[in-house]
Amino acid sequence: MNWGAFWLTVRLAGIVSTLLIAIGIPIAYWLTYSRWRWKFLVEAMVALPIVLPPTVLGFYLLVALGSRSPLGRWWESLTGHTLAFTFEGLVIGSLLYSLPFAVQPFAAAFGAVDSSLLRASASLGHSPLQTFRRIVLPLSKAGLVTGFALSFAHTLGEFGVVLMVGGNIPGVTRTISIDIFDRVQIADYHSANMTALVLLVISFLVLSVVYGLNRRPWAVGPWR
Amino acid sequence: MAVKAPPAKLASIQPISSELEVRLRKRFFNPEGSFNLNVHFRALAGFTILFGASGAGKTTLLDCIAGLVDPGDGRVSVGGADLYNAEKKLSVPAWKRRIGYVHQDLALFPHLTAEENVAYGLRDLNASERRVRAREIMNAFRIDQVRDRRPGQISGGERQRVALARALVTEPSALLLDEPLAALDRSTKSLLVGDLRKWNQNHRVPILFVTHNSEEVFALGDEVIMLEAGRIVAQGRPHEVMRAPQLETIARLSGFENVFSATVRAQNEDRGTMTCRLGGGKLELETPLVRAEVGSNVRIGVRAGDLLLAIEQPRGLSARNVLPGKILRLEQRDVIISAMVNCDGTEFEVHLTLGARDALQLVPGKEIWVVVKTHSCHLMGT
């Protein structure tokens, strides 16, 4: 069991799912309440990581983060090194990779809040944002927890994006799933089994918490 | 206990005379088709009843006034200040209109306690003032005992009171009530009506009250506006409007299938009843006593479901009116049989079950007795 890789992965998943709450709520808010006619294009964009092979996403991320892209150059001028093959690069990659797993439960929860409550809140002098804070968010608690837990669990198990963007640097970008892959490569099945089991148990626990909280199946896919 | 006057700070921003003026035109599409809402009226401080069948456009009208629906054309103003003016392209957002709105489904916030619900609209005040004001009105509306409970844990009547208190505590400059009493039993209803009236004595604001219950019209109405398919068909004081011929359609829609014009023949004050002669015929009905002079004209509404039919002359009944007649025709509507019965020139519509029709072997032309309880006769326009 490689504890270094384990804690690195937990740290990555924790940071990503926390950041996704901050990023996902405004996006889900916009997706829920916007009446823009091309909104469905944005919805499709957000859902892309669900169907895209991680290597495709990872490939484009690698190009975007590399020293030839404007983003990569900007980061390099700021910090002195590129984003690719760093922990920060992994965080950015995982944010995109897990975005739909946060945004979709959020948006589903916001949309499920009875619109008559929003009307009542407006008649009682609350602006749409105040209404969102005092009515929609508290009533979407289960959806927020679901989004957090799903993006956490999803980030725990990512492989393709990590390999493309982060490479395999111990203590920096070597996550559990890559560690398992390495062990199998050198025929260390016992160690691979231990690590895989830990990942399996954690993922199952996280999902149990989510389902227990909701007591109803929810849609995670683009078929919502 | 009466609701106290608001603190001076809030009172000062209230217009002294807050007349609500509404002039709206909008084409709407709903499942039953489209119709035009086209209304123009003024509502002074006090109760103005919006009366009409469902689908007449009452709720849509309230939504337009509250700013929840954009009417597209017209003007809405309170106390002379425009809230909506299509010509000036002005539309104050709903949350800045200061119009209280109690919707039929109440829309209490399920995650807040009753007191938090009531205090919700007082966000400009500090926490202690909020609590004082919320408790004051909850006391006046007799819901202080459910303060710490959530909407899911209190009775329907209490929920209704919480919703009313929540809207009233914000000192709105106008109040829109969409059938706020619909789900209540009669005694709860009259208590609540009393509380509302008391509140209105201290807060002279226009109150638009939607109902399709004619009893509520008489109990509350200073003024009635009758709406039919998006248009105002009658407006005035309840007794004037209810006497108007337009009433008939509304009365039928609101559940009185039988509406008769009648003349008061005698007042039986000792029995609490009076005798009325129907239309031009000789038929007489004993009805509840109301203040009406002998010889004056009244209108009597009777629900088709409140009438009984008998194939033999019944004896030993408490009902005072047993009228011989003949079945003209029978119509089946879903699981209800609607029988038209001619009693000496006056036609009654009677609703009965399929089983009753078969058991009594009712067919057109059959001789029959119609039984009318005194208290099934509702006097209108007295």
Q: Could you give the ipTM of this predicted complex?
A: 0.79
* Residues present in chain A in total: 224
pLDDT category at A17 given cuts 50, 70, 90 is very high
Closest by alpha carbon to B77, among B52, B41, B130?
A: B41
Residue A176 Cα, gap to closest chain B Cα (Å): 40
In single-letter form, the type of residue at position B236 comes to G
Backbone dihedral region for residue B68 (phi beyond 0: left; psi -120 to 50: alpha; all else: beta): alpha
Q: Which residue of chain B has the CA closest to A140?
A: B111
Query: What percent of chain A has pLDDT above 90?
Result: 39
- Closest to B109 (Cβ–Cβ): which among A122, A130, A135? A135
What's the distance, CA B219 to chain centroid? Answer: 9
Give the residue on A whose Cα is nearest the Cα of B118: A124
Note whether B107 contacts A135, CB cutoff 8 Å: no
Name the closest residue on chain B to residue A122, using Cα atoms. B95
How far does A69 lie from chain B, in Å, by closest CA?
Answer: 45
Q: Which tokens is A83 given?
A: 């984003």
Pairwise CB contact (< 8 Å): A122 & B100: no
Q: Which two tokens stand for residue A202?
A: 């954690």
Task: Tell me which of B78, B120, B176 to substitute to probe the interface with A (most A C-beta atoms closer than 10 Å).
Answer: B120
Contacts of A126 in chain B (CB under 8 A): 95, 120-121, 123
AA identity, residue B132? V
Say if the Cβ atoms of B107 and A139 lie within 8 Å.
Answer: no
> A with B: how many residue pairs have Cβ under 8 Å apart?
61
Reduced to 3 states (helix: H, G, I; strand: E, B; else coil), residue B27 is strand
Which residue in chain B has the smallest CA separation from A125? B95
Token match 């009506």: residue? B193
Contacts of B93 in chain A (CB under 8 A): 122, 127
Is the pTM value of this prediction over 0.80? no
Contacts of A122 in chain B (CB under 8 A): 67-68, 93-95
Q: Are B68 and A117 in contact (CB < 8 Å)?
A: no
Give the CA distances from residue B51 to residues A216, B33, B252, B261, in Å, rounded to whole numbers and listed in that order: 43, 21, 13, 21
Q: Has residue A218 got a pLDDT over 50?
A: no
Asked if the model's pLDDT at residue A220 lies above 50, the reply is no
Determine the pLDDT at residue B258.
Answer: 84
Backbone angles phi, psi at B229, to 5 degrees: 45, 45
Of A128, A130, A139, which is closest to B111 when you measure between CB atoms? A139
- Strands B378-380 vs B297-302: parallel, antiparallel or unpaired: antiparallel
Are the Cβ atoms of A123 and B105 closer than 8 angstroms?
Answer: no
pLDDT of amino acid B36: 83
Rounded to the nearest angstrom, the minimum Cα separation between A22 and chain B is: 23
Is B131 exposed, middle or buried (CB count within 10 Å of its CB: 0-12, 13-18, 19+)?
Answer: middle
What pLDDT shows up at residue B250?
A: 56
End-to-end CA, chain A: 38
What the block records as the tokens of B66 is 């509250």
**Cα–Cα distance measured from residue B265 to residue A22, given in angstroms and rounded to the nearest whole number:** 78
Q: Where would I find the beta strands (DSSP E) of chain A?
A: none
Distance from CA of B67 to the nearest CA of A (A): 8
> Which residue stretches of chain B have pLDDT < 50?
1-16, 244-246, 382
Q: Please tell me what DSSP assigns to residue B2.
A: P
Is A124 in the B-facing interface, judged by CB distances under 8 Å?
Answer: yes
**Amino acid (one-letter) located at A138:** P
Confidence of residue A221 (pLDDT cuts 50, 70, 90): very low
CB within 8 Å: B107 and A134: no
Tokens at B36, concatenated? 């035009």
Which of B95, B103, B110 shows the shortest C-beta gap to A126?
Answer: B95
Judge contact between B314 and B271, C-beta under 8 A: no
> Which of A113, A114, A124 best probes binding to B when mutated, by most B CB atoms within 10 angstroms?
A124
Query: Does A224 score more than 80 pLDDT?
Result: no
Of all residues in chain A, the one with the smallest CA distance to B167 is A124
% chain A with pLDDT above 70: 95
Task: Identify residues of B whose CB sits under 8 angstroms from chain A CBs.
Answer: 66-68, 93-101, 103, 105, 107-111, 120-121, 123-124, 166-167, 170
Q: Which residues pair with B114 in a beta bridge?
A: none
- Least confident range from A24-28, A107-111, B101-105: namely B101-105
- If we measure between CA atoms, which residue out of B145, B125, B126 comes closest to residue B135? B145
Angstrom CA distances, A51 to A45, A48, A92, A178, B174, stand at 11, 6, 19, 21, 53
- Confidence at residue B242, expressed as pLDDT on a 0 to 100 scale: 58
Contacts (Cβ under 8 Å, ≥6 apart) of A37:
none
Residue B356 CA from chain centroid, whole number: 32
Across the interface, whether the CB atoms of B95 and A125 are under 8 A apart is answered yes
- What is the phi/psi pair of residue B331, to 5°? -130, 140
Give the pLDDT confidence score for residue B248 in this predicted structure.
Answer: 56
Query: Which of A117, A122, A125 minimises the CB distance to B109?
Result: A117
Q: Higher-confidence residue: A220 or B41?
A: B41
Residues B66, A123: C-beta atoms closer than 8 Å = yes
Query: Which residues does chain A have within 8 Å of residue B67's beta carbon, measured at their own beta carbons?
Result: 122
Which contiguous run of DSSP H or E holds residue B202? helix B186-202
**Per-residue pLDDT at B17:** 58
Chain A CB contacts of B208 below 8 Å = none
Output the pLDDT for position B176: 94
Q: What are phi and psi of B26, to 5 degrees?
A: -155, 140
